[in-house]
Amino acid sequence: MTKLTEPPRDRVRLGIPLALASIFCFSATSLLLSFANTAYGMDGWVAAAYRGAFGLVAVFMLQSRLGRPHFCHIFTNRLLFLRGLLGGIAIPIFYISIMELGAGRAGIITGSYPLFAAVVAMLLIKERLQWTYLVYITIAILGLLGIFSDQGIGEAKLFYDIVAMMGASAAGLGVVLIRHLRHTENTSSIFASQCVFTLTFGLSVAGTDVLIEDPRALGLTVLAAITVIGGQLCITESFRHITVAKGSTLQMLTPVTTCVLSALLLGEHFSGLELLGGGAILFASYQIVRLKPR
């Protein structure tokens, strides 16, 4: 694969705001789904099906800006097929984790995917990492370990903790594929590949449960689909302007933002260790953004 270097500074200035916008969209999605599950018993597969369906609608609405989607490429381009398959697996896993572990804990575990992305990018597409990247990624890992070792957020369930980590690894590889596919596919095709598989898997498992009768539960599910679509489009477009290491490590702000908002809005508890770990992640992510291109 082609060796990639740090993009020009003007492109980085565009990529970072897009990545930050995606953080708030993803956090809002987690909070909405957690509340929908608590209040109305929302199922993760149902929520995933809605995400896939509304995502395809968004693709068609925005094709003039993002490019015409080439659905045949999803099945003829092996990397695009793999990206869609990984997204179709990672999304339901994340939603199920939110339902079982709570928005805070699920966000922390699945939020570790940038670490997988940075390592895979270095190994597979030969993306050059400055040594300072490795230092701050190490700090971020220690922060995650501090949060993970504490049981204050959500109810620790070993099986679902492992499931969430598997979803994080799948998402990390998906991020690297997005970065590589930008050379041959437009944003619409990359995003549509994920939506097709997510909708297919969601409908296959949820069946008739996708017909939500309660209008309030339906409204929350639709709103969660809209916010996550906004986040996904922002992050997909941002990887056209910034490296995987910088963009994906910046995404580590997502679990921290989710935890803070969960505490404020959903009443989830934070311990001192969790606050310390969250601070380490924030510091490391901020330093990654400030690093100058080599």
| 98-134 per-position pLDDT tens digit | 988 888 878 877 777 766 776 777 777 666 667 777 7
CA 78 remoteness from chain centre: 22
> If residue 171 lies in a helix (H) or strand (E), which one and from where to where?
helix 158-181
Residue 3 placed within a domain: no
Q: Are 15 and 138 in contact (CB under 8 A)?
A: no
Residue 5 placed within a domain: no
User: How far is the C-alpha of 242 from the C-alpha of 217, rounded, in Å?
Assistant: 37
Residue 1 placed within a domain: no
Residue 7 placed within a domain: no
Residue 19 placed within a domain: yes
Domain tally, the chain? 1
Residue 147 placed within a domain: yes
Residue 277 placed within a domain: yes
Residue type, 185: E
Examine the pLDDT at 206 and tell me if it is beyond 80.
yes
Poorest-pLDDT segment among 101-115, 145-159, 169-183, 266-280: 145-159
pLDDT bucket at 4, cuts 50 / 70 / 90: very low
Give the tens place of pLDDT for each residue, 273-291. 767 877 787 677 667 656 6
For residues 242-264, give the mean pLDDT: 76
Which range marks the domain in which residue 131 is found?
14-290
Q: Residue 278 phi/psi, 5° resolution?
A: -65, -40
Q: How far is CA 20 from CA 14, 25, 97, 177, 251, in A?
A: 11, 9, 23, 20, 8
User: Higher pLDDT residue, 37 or 118?
Assistant: 37
Q: Are 3 and 125 in contact (CB under 8 A)?
A: yes
Residue 9 placed within a domain: no
CA 8 remoteness from chain centre: 25
User: Higher pLDDT residue, 241 or 47?
Assistant: 47
